[in-house]
Amino acid sequence: MSKPAEKVEDALIREGWKTLVRKMGVAKATRFLVAFERGEGDSVKEIKRFWRGKSLDEIYRMVKRTRMTP
């Protein structure tokens, strides 16, 4: 996949995640994705790609901020 296409895909994944979290909450959104993706692909690679470039502190702050947002 080309770099511009990867950026579009990353943006789409982030928008989808934010929508799921907003509608379902972090716990239910996570359970949904786990159930939806169970048994296919390499989840570790996907998680690394999704959070690429973010430090653990940044990820923690993003998750905490998302959890606090109604």
Please state, in angstroms and rounded to a whole number, the distance separating the CA atoms of residues 38 and 32. 10
The confidence score (pLDDT) of residue 3 equals 60
pLDDT digits (tens, 9 = 90+) for 4-13: 667 778 888 8
Please state, in angstroms and rounded to a whole number, the distance separating the CA atoms of residues 53 and 61. 14
pLDDT digits (tens, 9 = 90+) for 10-66: 888 889 999 999 999 888 888 888 776 665 567 677 777 777 888 888 888 887 777
The confidence score (pLDDT) of residue 67 equals 65
pTM beyond cutoff 0.85: no
Contact 9, 17 (CB under 8 A): no
| Containing structural domain, residue 57 | 3-68
The confidence score (pLDDT) of residue 54 equals 84
**R_g (Cα) of the chain, nearest Å:** 13
Domain count of the chain? 1
Give 50's DSSP letter: H
